[in-house]
Amino acid sequence: MKLAAALNRSRAILAQNAIEDAPLEAELLLRHTLNINRTQLYLDLEHELSPQDEKAFGELVERRLGGEPTAYITRHREFYGLDFYVNPHTLIPRPESELLVETALRLAQDRPSTIADIGTGCGAIAVSLALELPGAKIYAIDISAAALEVAAINCQRHGVAGRVQLLQGDMLEPIAEPVDLIVANLPYVQRAEIAPDNFEPLIALDGGAGGTESIARLCHQARSKLADGGSMLLEIGQGQSESITGLLDSLFPNGA
């Protein structure tokens, strides 16, 4: 079977099974099978797949049909134009979280900053900020030791291991000094809404009964850890802005 036929067939199969972005996901799985980049794939579309590669590719497609995310199958995820290693110990970075990076850069560009990335997971936000803000001091904190191992790999991969301090602990508790900017993508899914067959770590998704338990706890911790004039950026779920805004207004009556 030629690469073009294998690609088209897998795209159709994934689409028929309601896999979002089926064309892209099929491409990523085929590139991973052959260990080639996108340019090589499209230059080689008329080449024949070996029987071994055809079998391996089919097995990857079956794993995707079984619900396993492509990022976990390939161990790669692009975020903010960078390639990150991911595995089932970390949440898969979402494109919408890039807004946290973009907003943080606007806030931090005018002065040297101490930044805390809370719930760092694979380290995507911390690494992205470190590359854009060479003068910043960055903490990347997670309660999961396994997640921090993944973050360490990504810090090393992108050359910022000496500038991002990885800390294990409950949100801001491991930090002794005030921080100028807190960036957090914490669990915000209501416990009852988490699918039982979800492949991502429960600790990275479960926001408690109302979905805001972790975020609320961070807001309380921030009262004693956020520097004067500092800012906090939170990614929250749909329908949670009113309750979180009310909490922040009560904790920071003069603004933050």
Q: Would you write out the chain's pLDDT as a tens digit for each of its 256 residues?
A: 999 999 999 999 999 999 999 999 999 999 999 999 999 999 999 999 999 999 999 999 999 999 999 999 999 999 999 999 999 999 999 999 999 999 999 998 877 789 999 999 999 999 999 999 999 999 999 999 999 999 999 999 999 999 999 999 999 999 999 999 999 999 888 888 888 788 998 889 888 888 889 999 999 999 999 999 999 999 998 889 999 999 999 999 876 4
Do 73 and 64 contact (CB within 8 A), yes or no?
yes
Fold of 3-74: Helicase, Ruva Protein; domain 3 (1.10.8)
pLDDT for residue 256: 47
Query: If DSSP codes are grouped into helix, strand and coil, which group holds residue 209?
Result: coil
Measure the CA angle with vertex 130, ends 128 and 136; round to 5°. Answer: 140
Fold of 88-251: Rossmann fold (3.40.50)
Question: Can you give the residue ranges of every domain in the chain?
Answer: 3-74, 88-251
Decide whether 3-74 matches 88-251 in CATH topology.
Answer: no
pLDDT for residue 206: 86
Report how far residue 203's alpha carbon sits from residue 33's, in angstroms, rounded to the nearest whole number: 30
pLDDT for residue 91: 95
pLDDT for residue 193: 87
pLDDT for residue 110: 72
Report how far residue 181's alpha carbon sits from residue 69's, in angstroms, rounded to the nearest whole number: 32
Report how far residue 39's alpha carbon sits from residue 165's, in angstroms, rounded to the nearest whole number: 36
Query: pTM for the full model?
Result: 0.92
Q: Which residues pair with 46 in a beta bridge?
A: none
Q: What are the angstrom distances between the C-alpha of 8 and each of 27, 67, 195?
A: 9, 20, 30
Measure the CA angle with vertex 50, ends 45 and 55; round to 5°. Answer: 105
